[in-house]
Structure 1
Amino acid sequence: MSSIDARDVPADTTSAERLAATGLEYRVVDFADDASSAGFQRAVDRGFLGAEPTGDMITQVAKTFGARRNIGVFEKKAPDTTLPIATINSWVTPLTLPGGGEIDMWAISVVTVAATHRRRGIARALLEGELRAAASAGVPVAGLTVSEATIYGRYGFGSAIPVARLTVDTRRAGWGGANPPGRLEYVDRDALAADLGAVHERARSGVSGQIPGWRGRWEGYAGVAPTTDRDHARGVRYLDEDGVLRGVLAYTVTEASGTFRFRLDVRLLVAETSDARAALWRFALQHDLVDEVVADLRPLDDPLPWLVADPRGVKQEVHDHGWLRVLDVPAALSARRFSAPLDIVIGIDDPLGYTEGQWRLQVDQEGVATVDRAEGASVDARLGVAALSSLYAGGVRASSLRGAGLIDADAATVEKLDRAFVAFPAPSLDIWY
């Protein structure tokens, strides 16, 4: 885990001054105070159009939020118990990189602004304040998952980790794969939460774009947390031939009204071996009385379409999920491994200034990169920081960005970028944060 604690970073003074000029107060929320903690959480649920949280839910979420840096925006002189009109929180977490290494990432979550306070520069203050805080702490990359995809590009974030939503008509798809050795067994909620955390932590190091989960996340999937649908949660685990835990599936089943036929929703399927993954998919698709299986946040190279008898029984919908924002070009690019040699000068446009300029990126035969300033040199490719951030995890093609007018370079240069930046296996991010 990272040695940097975001809670040690004070509230950004620039954002505080900007909002103060409009009669608003921007400050760190004290989660040691129960009333302040509850008000922050209620504002978050309001912002995401959720139900009013119960006391048990507030206690549960406080275990997670209490480990983060929580910022609230308030009307000036509002008491600490008042609900903030805007929220955001952050923490520093490892991000898995192509080649299996890690880098510190400033993770951003729960970005909300009350509907009563739109168009007052609050969202800008929140997001730019987080980027300044991350840069001041020496964190080279920021990241978030988003509910709206049109907001974050203006701050230099790029959609970097696409995922797929898989919908399976089980009666049409059937099963065409093998029956892996080992065994499956049901697990109770507490064991399910622990198993999800254990397997996810081992498996994430092999896939770029992943970050560690946390206790509250696993308890939510497993039905331990006091959520409204907790009683629907079920889980199975896969043990290999030696009895070692290698995979876990958390899911729910719901009935199509009055039919006694069911839909199975995958909350999380995590596996560290191909046998484990196949065994868990087979369980889901061959489950009694289940006609449809739905799984979101799956990697684009998930083998499921190749494990069924009829791949037309599997609908795949690709969508954005993980967004990244490079803040330190040399630190970010030298931390990951590349798939092909490269020697190129890139010109980066960054309206916030963190990565602005010309950089020479040299990658040797082993995929190791060095990055140096190259002001005055001839630029081979020019792009905005959001496009660079989209390329960073190795899941977005430079040729696609060039086709959209987001990279200015000739075809030969773009092909070199594609070969160098691509990551194997495909990047993925299987949780929201």
Structure 2
Amino acid sequence: MSNERPTNNTAPNDTAPNNTAPNNHKQLPIDSDSFDSLATRGLRLGLVDTDSAEFSLWLQAEARGFHSPRLSDETIADQVRVLADRRTTGVWDESAADAASPIASVSSWPTELTVPGHASVTSWAISAVTVAPTHRRRGIARALLEAELRTAHALGVPVAMLTVSEATIYGRYGFGPAAMGADWTIDTRRAKWTGPAASGRVQFVTLDQAVAAGVELNERVRLDTPGEIGFSGFLWERKLGIHVDDKTQAKQLRYVRYDDADGVAQGLAIYRVVEIPEGGFTHTLDLQYLVTATDDAYAGLWRYLLEIDLVVEVTASLRSVEEPISWQVSDYRAARKKDERDHLWTRILDLPTALEARRYGVPGRFLLEVADPLGFAQDRVLMTINATGSALVVPFDGAVPDDAAALSLSINELSALYLGGISAVLLARAGRITELTPDAASAVDLSFRSAVTPRLSIWF
């Protein structure tokens, strides 16, 4: 890591995106504004060489930041191998007793985000944001997040995104909750199957078979659901119990694949069965992950899970807020949605590129007055959606056209609306959007809302 001040980074208000290829994300120098800001506090911001011993200390600091146990040498070596493609950043306090270990962390990389219309847009995934409790309220998180946004902007990436453990932090940087998630609990004693009969078969597969099947299935279905991202490697393998220290829990995982009548893999489920203490040989089935390419596979795997002997309850975390399973069992109340919450937050950095990347349900014209305190997407634009659902977005200084619906909103609200899962009418009623023409929010909903509920099936 270099100790010298970077000299060729850009700030959001004075330089447009340079369209540097996103695969150069590791080579772009550290953000100079955040470097200087932290230096005045006696702190050092820098990139981590993932091929060096410094990366091991960064991984331990990240684990500490999320209150996880210290990582074993085996897990460290494993993660060093699979996380080498990420841009890794740390903050150091050289006056600390353990000056070699960072006191803050962040990790980022470009990947594809699914948007409405079976399309995707390159997005900047931000992960591993931690600040040591010994260094709170020193502007470290702000420096890290703003550096990430300026880096993405400099690379020409139009959208940033993250999954959050706390919902009160990221709004100040222009993020808005765009895809929700929910946990489901199903009482199998009441939930008798009434859904369609599947035509294929469910069979156990090995770990290696599950790795391969999941990578192929996840990518095959990714464009079906706004909010899903392109992922494989570490993010996928972690779901299967790889790259984790808790080997006991990983050994409990079972993998089943659904093959259709022609023998083609169309679904995969990962689960574990846990005995209920003093429950008289009764168990809970914890569904860790489920991916299906067809409705037939969805029905086949869910029926299998609900009808396993000695299981009285199925729990499924991080599922969609709208699941067909609640309509496929005899007692609608047997499938209960719990803990519905925000999951994926997005942040538009380039209005025309982001808005033109997705498709829309109804033609229309919209004048959008967008406020962005950080300056990336501050603009007044005219958005025209044609009969095919494609949009053209251009800067606009004139009076509101007679045929346009006009809104004033911040980048937070526009980012929340982006994937089509949040209602503009709801935001207007909450005072988060100002309608400049009558019923403008209703018009936005007709065009922006997605027929498929946005969802992201993983944490990153």
**Partner of 2:261: helix, strand, or coil?**
coil
Q: Deviations over 1:350-370 (max 9, x none)?
A: 110111121111101111100
**Counterpart AA for 2:191:** A
Q: Does 1:31 find its partner at 2:50?
A: yes
Question: How far apart are the structure 2 equivalents of 1:71 and 1:141?
Answer: 20
Question: What is the identity, as a one-letter code, of the residue corresponding to 2:88?
Answer: N
Structure 2 partner of 1:402 = 428
Unaligned runs of 5+ in 1: none
Contact 2:362-2:385 within 8 A present in 1 as well: yes
Structure 1 Cα separation of the partners of residues 423 and 197 of structure 2: 35
What secondary structure, in the 3-state scheme, does the structure 2 residue paired with 1:60 have?
A: helix
Deviation of 1:64 after TM superposition, in Å, equals 3.1
State the secondary structure of the residue aligned to 2:365.
strand
Kept in 2, the 8 Å contact 1:177–1:278? The answer is yes
Q: Which residue identity is paired with 1:397? A: S
Q: Distance in 2 between matches of 1:45 and 1:280?
A: 34
Match of 1:125 in 2: 143
Let me know the Cα RMSD of the aligned residues.
1.7
Query: Contact 2:123–2:158 at 8 Å: present in 1 too?
Result: yes
The residue aligned with 1:359 is: 381
Paired residues of 2:93 and 2:99 also in contact (CA < 8 A):
no
- Pair 1:328-2:328 in alignment: no
Superposition pairs of residues 134-149 of structure 1, within 5 angstroms: 134-149=152-167
Deviation (angstroms), 1:423: 1.2
Is 1:60 matched with 2:95? no
Q: Cα deviations across residues 296-317 of structure 1 (Å, max 9, x unaligned)? A: 2222332110111111011113
1:27-426 aligned within 5 A: 27-33=46-52, 35-76=53-94, 82-228=100-246, 229-259=249-279, 260-317=281-338, 318-378=340-400, 380-409=406-435, 412-426=439-453
Report SS of the residue matched to 1:172: coil
Give the SS at the match of 2:373. Answer: coil
> Which has the higher mean CA deviation after the structures are superposed, 108-117 or 225-234?
225-234
Task: Calculate the TM-score normalised by the size of structure 1.
Answer: 0.96
Output the CA distance in 1 between the equivalents of 2:379 and 2:22. Answer: 30
Identity %: 41
Give the Cα separation in 2 of the matches to 1:80 and 1:424.
52
Cα offset, 1:224, TM superposition = 3.6
Give the distance between the partners of 1:349 and 1:105, measured in 2 at CA. Answer: 21
Question: What is the CA distance between 1:371 and its match in structure 2?
Answer: 0.5
- 1:110 partner letter: A
CA shift at 1:77, angstroms? 7.7
Aligned partners of 2:22, 2:301: CA distance in 1, in Å?
Answer: 35
Distance across 1 between alignment mates of 2:438 and 2:295 = 37
Separation in 2 of the partners of 1:9 and 1:101? Answer: 28
Aligned partner of 1:84: which letter?
A: P
Residue 76 of structure 1: how far off its partner (Å): 3.6
- What SS does the corresponding residue of 1:56 show, helix, strand or coil? helix
Q: For 1:117 and 1:416, locate their aligned partners in 2 and report how far apart those are by CA, in whole Å.
A: 47
Match of 1:22 among 41, 44, 47: 41
CA distance in structure 2 between the partners assigned to 1:127 and 1:253 by the alignment: 39
Q: Pick closer, same or farther for the CA change 1:5–1:262 going to 2, 3 Å.
A: farther
Q: Distance in 2 between matches of 1:46 and 1:7?
A: 24
- The count of corresponding residues between Structure 1 and Structure 2 is 431
d(CA) in 2 for partners of 1:381, 1:431:
33
2:92/2:99 contact within 8 Å kept: no
Contact 1:159 1:324 in 2 (8 A): yes
Corresponding letter in the other structure for 1:233: L
Paired residue secondary structure (2:23):
coil
The CA distance in 2 between the partners of 1:184 and 1:213, in whole Å, is 25
1:173–1:313 Cα contact (<8 Å) kept: yes
Three-state SS of the structure 1 residue aligned to 2:26 is helix
Deviation track 1:262-311 (CA, whole Å, cap 9, x = no partner) reads 11111110001000111111111111111111112222332110111111
Contact 2:48 2:54 in 1 (8 A): yes
Whether the 8 Å contact between 2:367 and 2:381 is mirrored in structure 1 is yes
Pair 176,227 (structure 1): closer, same or farther in 2 beyond 3 Å? farther
1:11 aligns with 2:30: yes
Q: Give yes or no for contact 1:256–1:262 (8 Å, CA) kept in 2.
A: yes
* Alignment TM-score, normalising by the size of structure 2: 0.91
Per-residue CA distance 1:2-41 (angstroms, 9 max, x = gap): 85342122211100000000000000011101x2111011
Q: Deviations over 1:398-431 (max 9, x none)?
A: 1111121111115521111001001122111101
**What amino acid is the match of 1:27?**
G
Correspondence for 2:18 = none
Output the CA distance in 1 between the equivalents of 2:238 and 2:109: 20
In the TM superposition, residue 49 of structure 1 has moved relative to its aligned partner by 0.5
Question: Post-superposition shift, 1:225?
Answer: 3.4
Moved more, 2-11 or 156-165: 2-11
- Structure 2, unpaired ranges of 5+: 1-20
Q: Which moved more, 1:304-313 or 1:109-118?
A: 304-313
Tell whether 2:456 aligns with 1:429: yes
**2:383 aligns to what SS in structure 1?**
strand
Question: Does the CA-based 8 Å contact 1:16-1:26 persist in structure 2?
Answer: yes
